[in-house]
Amino acid sequence: MTTKVENAQVEKVIFDGLAEVGAEPAEISRDAEFEALDVDSLDLVELAQIVEDEFAVRLEGDDLKGITTVGQVIDLVVAKSG
């Protein structure tokens, strides 16, 4: 059973995770597109693992289809958490 998480918690973990996979921290924002951050599909898999470890929320490949911005992933994690 998952516990509802807050946007701010998820945002911090996602921002930190993106920096870990090589995105420039100064360029990370909710509106930032993964392509502009030079984040590829392998980086997204790593980010999904960070999310699962931190929030017990599993992001599948289909969940990430059509998602292009950091904010969309944050919203997805919050929605799936509760």
SS3 69: strand
Total number of domains in the chain: 1
> Considering the domain boundaries, does residue 60 fall inside one?
yes
Helix axes 7-20, 41-55, angle to 10 degrees: 140
Summarize pLDDT for 44-79 with one digit per residue, the tens: 999 999 999 999 999 988 888 889 999 999 999 999
2 occurs within a structural domain: no
Q: What is the CATH number of the domain that holds 31?
A: 1.10.1200.10
In a domain, 33, yes or no: yes
In a domain, 49, yes or no: yes
> What local confidence, expressed as pLDDT, does residue 64 receive?
85
Is there a domain that residue 54 lies in? yes
Global pTM reads 0.89
Q: Give residue 22's region: left, alpha or beta (phi > 0; psi -120 to 50).
A: left
Structural domain includes residue 34:
yes
40, 62, 63, 75: the active-site residue: 40
Determine whether 40 is an active site residue: yes
Is 74 a domain residue? Answer: yes
Tokens 């516990």, residue located: 3
Is residue 40 in a domain?
Answer: yes
Range of the domain at 35: 7-81
Predicted confidence at residue 4, as pLDDT, reads 66
